[in-house]
Chain A
Amino acid sequence: MGMVKEFFSGVYNLALGLVTTAKYLPKRAVTIQYPKVKMQMFERSRGTVVLLSDPETGELNCNACLLCQKACPVAAITIKQAKDAGTKKRYPEKFEINMMICCYCGLCEEACNFNAIKLTGKYEFATPDKDSLIFDKDKLQEIGRDVKYEAKKKREPKKDAVPVKKAEPASPTPVSAEPEKAVEVKAADPVDNSGQIDIKGTNQ
């Protein structure tokens, strides 16, 4: 009797398994076909590091305080300080991040007090050339041009700021940094395109 019961229970459970997998046949698959369709990254996504520039003057926000270099746990950031002869302001002469070493932890962004460095949601930087993965100052500034950020500490623009030319992309990267315009899948938060600094309560 026990054997018969076991037999029928076995058959029932086998059938239950079949029903469970068959439930998914008529449903639409959850796959998103990259690169035809790209997911929209979340606001706080930690992808590539960028250097932020002032939206009005176009200058780098960074004043080479070396806090991010000290905070980085893997020593991916290399900064060389210099003083601008005219305005006596400290600025980074060399700012390199070795993206092959960077672990995308975000400690540099936390350490910075000047809205100078940020991790964004950009991720399409694969390249067959290893040297191009050491991002120098120009590349970092270029990929950070369209990144919106909220001010951690208000910076008053200097009154005698020289109107600065937009930096040309001088770095020899063979790969374009901008992802192609593609169909967005996630419903986006309303993006503020008016050029103002977007203040939203994210980084506390």
Chain B
Amino acid sequence: MSTLEIEKTQAQDEFIINVGPQHPSTHGVLRLILRMKGEFIKDLKPDVGFLHRAIEKIAENRTYAQFMPFTDRIDYCASMPCNLAWVTAVEKLAKIEVPERAQYLRVIMTELNRIASHLIWLGTMSLDLGAFTPFLYAFRERERILDLFEMTCGQRLTYNYMRIGGVSQEPPQEFYPKCKEFTQYFRKKVDDYEALLTYNPIFLSRTKDVAILPIDVGLNYGASGPTLRASGHDWDLRKIHPYSSYDKFDFKAPLGTKGDVWDRYIVRIQEMRQCCNIVDQAVEGLPEGPIKAKVPAVFKPKGEVFARIEAPRGEMGYYIIADGTTKPYRVKIRTASFAHVQLLKYLAVDWKIADLVAIFGSLDIVLPEVDR
């Protein structure tokens, strides 16, 4: 992809910079072409596709159950929600009723993974801003969550835990007390992160009133999740179209006021606390029953369906066209980060290049989601 389009409008005192696909910002392989005037960014063009693995095409040659490990890898920072989105879509297509215990287990796993994903976001954003320590603290907390996952399904990053109709394995007995222990421990750690960052004057000067996203602009670009909630738009799929028994839990979807970088930060921090609440409630109220519904061994649904869930980064949706064979005809994956990459141009223009790092961190973009 050439830089010619940006170069065409280049004025005399501007220059073009390539923020290359590999950079220490640890967000993945994204290439940004910037046109800069001195310190200010005048134009920005993202160049995506370096991590494209043709997952949607692969889906056309795998059965519905076989596709599970691939959904893990669409967003490997938040693997359980990706699993959940796929099984929700397939169950909606084939009208399968999921037993309640399986729904509660899915909620526990998804919320724990939401905390883990937000911890990665916290670590990388503060690393970009120059605070080296919260990165390591976040990953230390993540180790405990990953231990919980390894105890249950055997893997630490790409779980392949959910199945069409339920979940694959019952967590071991020691999982539930360890879950409770973790949520108690973690709430204190969130206070640590807040002490280090939230009202720190240096952090405030980097993030307050930087790159405000108005609600209508966000909606037009397809923003969702914490990015949109930080602007004040109360849209959380777990509350508005509850799936997988989220309506049985009592939690808040934190809202921001202005939509600047600080709001996007504080919304995610508060969300981490709310996830602890949900996990506690789910572990307390876990009903007895089977963990998987009966699904025919040779599974041949027919029809079209679109289903979406609230992934940690925004809305994740699957559009499946099934033609009555064991493999889907077409699977289209709608990911939140793909829409948010478009927001970069709107948000970053007329800010300095040092703000670009803060903005990019606050949008919580992961490249596997963008490129699939």
Contacts and interface: CB of A to CB of B under 8 A. Distances in A.
Chain A–chain B contact at Cβ < 8 A: yes
Interface of A: 9-10, 13-14, 16-17, 19-21, 30, 41-46, 71, 73-74, 103-107, 110, 119, 201-204
Interface stretch (B22-30, B191-199, B234-242): B191-199
B184 interface: no
Contacts of A45: 150, 154-155
Given A21-B133, A73-B66, A46 B200 contact: no
Nearest to A41: B150
B170 A204 contact: yes
Contacts of B338: none
Interface residues of B, number: 33
A9 B168 CA distance: 51
A20 B66 contact: no
Contacts of A110: 168
Contacts, number: 75
Given A107-B65, A204-B291, 8 more contacts: A13-B201, A17-B197, A21-B133, A44-B154, A73-B66, A73-B69, A105-B72, A106-B154
A30 B154 CA distance: 22
B158 interface: yes
Nearest to A20: B195
Contacts of B199: 9, 13, 16
A16 to B, nearest CB: 5
Contacts of B291: 204
Given A13-B201, A105-B69, A105-B160, A202 B169 contact: yes
B130 interface: no
Given A42-B151, A44-B151, A204 B169 contact: yes
Contacts of A71: 66
B172 interface: yes
Contacts of B195: 16-17, 19-20
Nearest to A120: B154
Contacts of A17: 195-197, 200
Contacts of A13: 199-201
Which secondary structure dominates where chain B touches chain A?
helix
A12 B338 CA distance: 40
Contact of B160 (A10, A41, A106, A202): A106
Q: What 7 A-B pairs have minimum CB-CB distances, sorted nearest first?
A: A46-B154, A105-B69, A10-B201, A44-B154, A73-B66, A13-B199, A105-B160
A73 B70 contact: yes
B196 A21 contact: yes
A152 B65 CA distance: 21
Nearest to A119: B154
A14 B152 contact: no
A103 B68 CA distance: 12
B140 interface: yes
A107 B201 CA distance: 51
A124 B201 CA distance: 47
Given A16-B195, A110-B168, A202-B172, A104 B200 contact: no
B150 A44 contact: yes
B62 interface: yes
Interface string B319-351: 000000000000000000000000000000000
Contacts of B168: 110
**Among B62, B160, B168, B170, residue most surrounded by chain A Cβ atoms (within 10 Å):** B160
B192 A20 contact: yes
B206 to A, nearest CB: 14
Interface in B126-164: 133, 140, 143, 147, 150-155, 158, 160
Contacts of B201: 9-10, 13-14
Contact of A103 (B140, B151, B158, B169): B158
B67 interface: yes
Nearest to A109: B154
A202 B168 CA distance: 11
Interface string B66-108: 1111101000000000000000000000000000000000000
Interface string B290-331: 010000000000000000000000000000000000000000
